Structure 1
Amino acid sequence: MTVENTNEFEIKLLFPGDQLEAIEKLIISNGGIRRQHLQAAYIDTSDFALTRAGFAFRLRKEGRQWIQTLKASTRNPLERLEDNVTLSAVGKEMPEWNLDLHQNHEAGQLLRKKCPNLKPDDLRVSYQTDIWRRKALINTQLGSLEYALDSGFIYSQLNDCVSSIKVLELEIELKAGEPLDVLSHAKNLIKNHGAYIDTRSKSERGFLLANGLQASPAMRAKAISLNKAKNAQEIIACLIDSCLQQVLANQSALNAELDQYSEYLHQLRVGLRRLKVLFKYLARHDIHLGDEGLEAFKRAFDQLGGYRDSDYVTGTLNPILLSLGGPEIKLASIKELPNPCFITKNSEFQLMLVDVMSISYLGASISADPEDRRGDKEQVRLVRKTINKLLDGGFSFVADRASRFSELQDDQIHSVRKKMKFIRYSLEFFRDYCNKSKYAKFNKSIADALEYFGLFNDMCVAISRIEALTQDDPNMLFALGWLKAERQRVRSLCGKSLKKLVRMDPAWGLKTLNT
């Protein structure tokens, strides 16, 4: 028995079918002449306790050799804890599995912590894979990478019937060197072969297949803890990873061309908004995405916003109009929108995502003076000072507009909404640095206000679109009249909620910066 204790860093790419031959040639030209047959059984409990806790446990036959592997997800969607144990068993018959073989590895220790009541007798084969892999080791100036082109199937027995899904993907795994090398190669494949990122692992896809599901639930933003961050770079990496976790999972689901994609689209846009807020903090520390990346970001965000506008008409406005005896606004009369994957699969969007990932590994200094070498505690102090300054400025902006809300035009109200979103997402990022006794109440107040402001914005957009339809369809006048009257009511609620918010004590800036 041989133990290999490694952490895995890799990026998985999907690509158009017509690029398979070119990618195969690329790997063959780098030594990947022979294909390897990989047959794996994924082990879990009947209720998938391991998968739900973020683990993958498998036995895989590579040639005649069996290897047992335990993987654990991390906050970084491209990194996993991985422990491989080469078993003494060879041949076709699958050996017995033994989780105790991983007890000395970080993944095994984390499993015991998250699943303390797990019993070996509860484990069983949940799904299996049959893959042909063509791989090549590529040496670079920074180290070495492994390209692995996988083709095959995942299959599971569901309701006494064997079901399967196809696998065709390219993984680029870091073997030695720096993660930036992996990301650089990923960019080349995106540019040259129209590849796009997919963070759904074989174990996730197997879980979905075994449960008769098309996709995992849309990924929402998860709580962030910065208490263990030792310096500014760790803070930055933690925040970027949090945003990417949400963005990459939802764009992967959209790229799968789901029929019901509204919630994934919504959560993707939330993740992009959180990134937008983070860019403001990074800019204060001289860390930038770059003009080309920012332009791609803005273009994609605006395009995806068109889907949100149509969702309001079809999902919220039409039911109200019909209940009042009014006409239904046909989506086709506004605009038929194609599946949003045409935006998320786009190369410029994918390249922008890789550029965001790269920021975590650039090791940029937060100091304005490159010669200034601040200690870790001083770096954290500086980050918290920047947070307070930006939040104070945002809150002052909101308070000023609240005092003269009745005079504001629609576009000015939208600016207030954007500033409140900045404050809300900032509070989510930096909750550990806030006053705990004031956080919950303040956060609820700003969330309530944003509900009204969001509804007001939806109405403004709908009015603008419906006004253009009234000449061809006079029935739209009913909808237009109702919307304009309702907009006034909601505007009043926006003003009241805003005044309530600005009377509250902010949740930040009250903890000493010396702690």
Structure 2
Amino acid sequence: MNTTGAPIELELKLAVRPQDADRLAAHPLIARHAGGAAQTQLMLAHYLDTPERALAAAGMALRLRREGRQWRQTLKTSGGEALALRARGEWEHALPAARLDWAALRRTPLAALPAYAGRAGWKALAADLKPVFTTRFQRRNWALALPGGTQAVLSLDQGHIACGRGARRRTVPICELELECQAGDPARLWKFAAELAKEWPLIPLAASKAERGHELAAQARPAPHKGKPPKLARTGGVPQALAAALGAPLAALQHNLRHLDAADPEFVHQARVALRRLRSVLRAFGPLPGLKGLGRPITGLDAPLRALGQVLGAARDADVFELQTLPAWREALPAALAGELDRLAPQAAQVRRETQAAAAALAASAAYGQTLLRAERLVFDAAAAPHGGGALEPLARRLLGASHERVWRAARGLTRLTAAQRHRLRIDVKRLRYGLDLWSSLWPEAATRPYRQALAGLQDELGALNDAAVAGQTLAALGASAALRKACAARERSLLAQRLPLAAQTLAALDLCAAPWR
């Protein structure tokens, strides 16, 4: 914990594979910077909350933890986007026993917890707080002396989170590294982590033990994370706007890939959307002034993010084909061809399993971990950079205007475009939509809504046509008969006849909308 000034904890958290933990602990880099051998402790912590989870809803976590023979009471508050490096409020007090020190808690944000403020509410809170889950793990601690006089603590935690009792007991494992900056330059944490990540998969871990414990206790599958457009200040610096714009899609990408589940294709879909938004931000800011020293990190992320996008794109195409296209075609085609679809269904399911496995493997790979570390480092460096680059609104107008013109150039002769040209147009439409989301906080919501809705409608129409084209390619890859491929082509032509006029109408509606940046 940072014990000087405001009680702020600045910590970088990384997931570790259990089979790598002991070798990681023996890494020469750790020995080089550690002041001595690791100190090992057994940690047992009880996390408390109300039946309605009032603390979690307010971004707080309250725990009683035994460290060796010493009990400590800690209240933490979340800060910023859910990224692996987080600056959080931390109020910690040593205790003589496993009982809350209410006098100390009155000097923390817990005293202003909604629905429990005031003396009467405080008594009600004391009655309502109950253990929700526990963590039990072994911690190996190293005190690190990093270059430039930076002091940090490296912790390797292995154990589990548990809730419930008896037959209802449920657990999830803990195996993670924590790098906490105690003094000096926090950027040194990134350099140290990047060196370790060259040898083993170290995946930035945005979810705290408290957040994972509440997921476990809720017994509910976490929902896919869509992210939110950033709130940009018109007079803010360009680097700070970059940091704000990257945070939401980066957090959404990490959340959705951590929870990948073949039973819910929405996680793959939202991971892909988050990745596209992330790349859209990098494209938008890459050529802008005021980003001295950040240009290389921005361009260096393009290739690994594009590779990730290809894997997620294949998984999404397989989801759409098996879960949406096949059922729709089975209903529409003659019985004989529908029967062939049924015979191809196991192959489609196998392709979907393989693409899901490829996405999951990439999300656990060293390459993905290194990419996330670089992306999060870019957020950190951009937020800490000097203000500069000029006012944001003129920059946004120029970028959106150029994107708008690309859409109109690509849309010329819409009804005569090939499938490949329509796909290119769809990509340009998506980029314009993501760009508008990026800069939309610079204008009133009422000014952007009509344009955004027309843009979304055009994207939907083009998306339906693209799905039909991809379905034809997938059938050919699965070895469908000539008769089935012919029926597929006829269905695509029918869909074109229905949807192209709608796309043209939506394009005309978009033309009538006042561009909010003009």
Counterpart of 2:424 in structure 1 is: 415
Deviation at 1:313, TM superposition (A): 0.8
The whole-number CA distance in structure 1 between the counterparts of 2:205 and 2:427 is: 30
Code of the residue aligned with 2:406 in structure 1: it is: F
Counterpart of 1:219 in structure 2 is: 225
Deviation at 1:469, TM superposition (A): 4.2
Deviation at 1:455, TM superposition (A): 1.7
Cα deviation digits, residues 179-230 of structure 1 (max 9, x gap):
32222222222211222222222112211221224x4222111242224974
Deviation at 1:477, TM superposition (A): 4.2
Q: Is the 8 A contact 1:398 1:420 kept in 2?
A: yes
1:459 aligns with 2:465: no
Counterpart of 1:341 in structure 2 is: 360
Code of the residue aligned with 2:48 in structure 1: it is: I
Q: 1:63 aligns with which of 56, 68, 77?
A: 68
Code of the residue aligned with 1:491 in structure 2: it is: L
User: Partner of 1:222: helix, strand, or coil?
Assistant: coil
Q: Is the 8 A contact 2:229 2:245 kept in 1?
A: no
1:240 aligns with 2:241: no
User: Partner of 2:239: helix, strand, or coil?
Assistant: helix
Deviation at 1:114, TM superposition (A): 9.2
Structure 2 gap ranges (5+): none
Counterpart of 2:268 in structure 1 is: 265
Code of the residue aligned with 2:498 in structure 1: it is: R
User: Partner of 2:381: helix, strand, or coil?
Assistant: coil
- Count how many residue pairs are aligned between Structure 1 and Structure 2: 488
The whole-number CA distance in structure 1 between the counterparts of 2:298 and 2:284 is: 15
The whole-number CA distance in structure 1 between the counterparts of 2:137 and 2:405 is: 58
Code of the residue aligned with 2:186 in structure 1: it is: P
Residues 330-369 of structure 1 mapped to structure 2, 5 A cutoff: 330=345, 332-333=347-348, 335=351, 336-339=354-357, 340-363=359-382
Structure 1 gap ranges (5+): 367-372, 510-515
Counterpart of 1:512 in structure 2 is: none
The whole-number CA distance in structure 2 between the counterparts of 1:260 and 1:203 is: 26
Deviation at 1:290, TM superposition (A): 5.4
TM (norm. structure 2) is: 0.85
447-456 or 30-39: which moved more? 30-39
Residues 268-279 of structure 1 mapped to structure 2, 5 A cutoff: 268-279=271-282
333-342 or 41-50: which moved more? 333-342
Q: 1:280 aligns with which of 267, 278, 283?
A: 283
Code of the residue aligned with 1:311 in structure 2: it is: D
The whole-number CA distance in structure 2 between the counterparts of 1:36 and 1:186 is: 23
Q: 1:131 aligns with which of 122, 137, 145?
A: 137
Code of the residue aligned with 2:371 in structure 1: it is: M
Cα deviation digits, residues 11-30 of structure 1 (max 9, x gap):
22223333122112235773
User: Partner of 1:193: helix, strand, or coil?
Assistant: coil
Counterpart of 2:321 in structure 1 is: 313
Over 3 Å counting, the alpha-carbon distance change for 1:46 and 1:306 in structure 2 is same
Deviation at 1:472, TM superposition (A): 5.0
391-400 or 27-36: which moved more? 27-36
Cα deviation digits, residues 445-504 of structure 1 (max 9, x gap):
211221112222222111122234456574454444323422442233222212211221
Deviation at 1:140, TM superposition (A): 0.9
384-393 or 112-121: which moved more? 112-121
- The Cα RMSD (Å) is 2.9
Deviation at 1:317, TM superposition (A): 0.8
User: Partner of 1:11: helix, strand, or coil?
Assistant: strand
Q: Is the 8 A contact 1:436 1:507 kept in 2?
A: no
The whole-number CA distance in structure 2 between the counterparts of 1:410 and 1:74 is: 45
The whole-number CA distance in structure 2 between the counterparts of 1:494 and 1:137 is: 61
User: Partner of 2:415: helix, strand, or coil?
Assistant: helix
1:504 aligns with 2:504: no
Code of the residue aligned with 1:251 in structure 2: it is: L
Cα deviation digits, residues 288-337 of structure 1 (max 9, x gap):
33555321111111121001111111111111122225234425257343
Q: Which has the higher helix share?
A: 2
Q: Is the 8 A contact 1:402 1:499 kept in 2?
A: no
The whole-number CA distance in structure 2 between the counterparts of 1:445 and 1:491 is: 15
Cα deviation digits, residues 255-279 of structure 1 (max 9, x gap):
xxx4435222111111111111111
219-228 or 384-393: which moved more? 219-228
1:96 aligns with 2:100: yes
Q: Is the 8 A contact 1:130 1:152 kept in 2?
A: yes
Deviation at 1:125, TM superposition (A): 1.0
Over 3 Å counting, the alpha-carbon distance change for 1:178 and 1:412 in structure 2 is farther
Residues 12-411 of structure 1 mapped to structure 2, 5 A cutoff: 12-26=13-27, 30=34, 31-76=36-81, 77=83, 78-90=85-97, 94-96=98-100, 98=102, 101-102=104-105, 104=107, 108=110, 112=113, 119-120=124-125, 121-142=127-148, 143-157=150-164, 161-213=168-220, 215-227=221-233, 230-254=236-260, 258-285=261-288, 286=291, 287-288=294-295, 289=297, 292-324=300-332, 325=335, 326=338, 327-328=341-342, 329-330=344-345, 332-333=347-348, 335=351, 336-339=354-357, 340-363=359-382, 379-381=389-391, 383-411=392-420
